[in-house]
Structure formats: structure tokens, C-alpha cells
Amino acid sequence: MSVILALDLGTQMGWSLIGNDDQVSAGTVSFAPRNGEGPGMRFARLRRWLIDLKSAHGQIDAVYYEDVRRHIGTQAAHVYGGLLAVLQMWAEHHEIPYRGVGVGVIKKHATGNGAAKKPAMIEAMKARGYSVMDSNAADALALLDYAISKQD
């Protein structure tokens, strides 16, 4: 099995990963600005998080991310764009293929409904046997589940 990383990019980023041992791990990490930090620190912390994750797993064969086309506000769009740029630059540097998957595609895969709400996503991932702590991790797990289905 390939090592696949799936990311729900955002200030509260959901992530999931399937390792060489077929074990799935998932969680949420915050990139919210901390007291006294400049606005670029969230992007520096994402880069450090990716470096540490790759170091811990030795390899990552593919990265999937939620491809968001519509944002609630300008700030959210700017943050998403910056996080995406960091992810893509890191993946290019390590020659890791990456692919964006539309939000509706992920929701349809997980629930059968491309407009599913957060509670339905959480329930769908629990029904598939995943341990889900919040909606960000649920989205990342749904994306990972989609990515695994495309590996066959």
C-alpha cells in the first residue's frame, strides 16, 4: 500500500494518512495566528508540520487535498491560497504527486450527497469504521477514503 496523505486545508486543518502498515491516523492541527506572530507564521508552521510528518513516516507517495473553489470571505480565500501554495511547493520539492479533489466529489463519495452537511460527513466516516474527532478530521478521512478507492 502507498503512503497517502489527505488534507482539509484551513486554519483548523484536518489531516489523515494511511501508512505502509495500512494503519490510518487522523487529526486536526491549528494554524491560527498566535500572540505576537506575524501573518506569515501560519504558513511557516504548515511547512514545518509537513517536514516533520514526512520525517516521521520516511516517505509519502501521494497527497490529496480538498480543492475549495468558493470561500466565505476574502480572508479565508487568502489563507487557503497561502496554505495551498506551501503544500504544493513542499510536494514539488520532494517530488510527491498531489491532487486537488472538489468538495462536492468528496461529499458524494462519503455520503452519496454532494451537498452533505458536517454531521452527515462525521456519521459517514464513523460508519466506515474511522475514529472521528471533529468535522475537519472527518473531511480529511473522507478524502483519504476517496484516494484509497482510486488507488485500485
pLDDT confidence tier of residue 151, bands split at 50, 70 and 90:
confident
List, for residues 12-40, the tens digit of each pLDDT value: 999 999 998 899 999 999 999 889 998 89
Output the pLDDT for position 26: 96
Q: Where do the domains of the chain lie?
A: 4-151
**Which of 112, 88, 120, 125 is closest to 9 using CA atoms?**
88
pLDDT confidence tier of residue 1, bands split at 50, 70 and 90:
low
**Which of 45, 59, 140 is closest to 94 using CA atoms?**
59
Output the pLDDT for position 78: 85
For residues 40-47, average pLDDT: 95
Claim: this prediction has a pTM higher than 0.85: yes
Residue 38 or 63, more confident: 63
Output the pLDDT for position 73: 67
DSSP labels, 84-137: HHHHHHHHHHTT--EEEEEHHHHHHHHHS-TT--HHHHHHHHHHTT----SHHH
Output the pLDDT for position 152: 60
List, for residues 70-123, the tens digit of each pLDDT value: 767 687 788 899 999 999 999 999 999 999 999 999 999 999 999 999 999 999
CATH topology of domain 4-151: Nucleotidyltransferase; domain 5 (3.30.420)
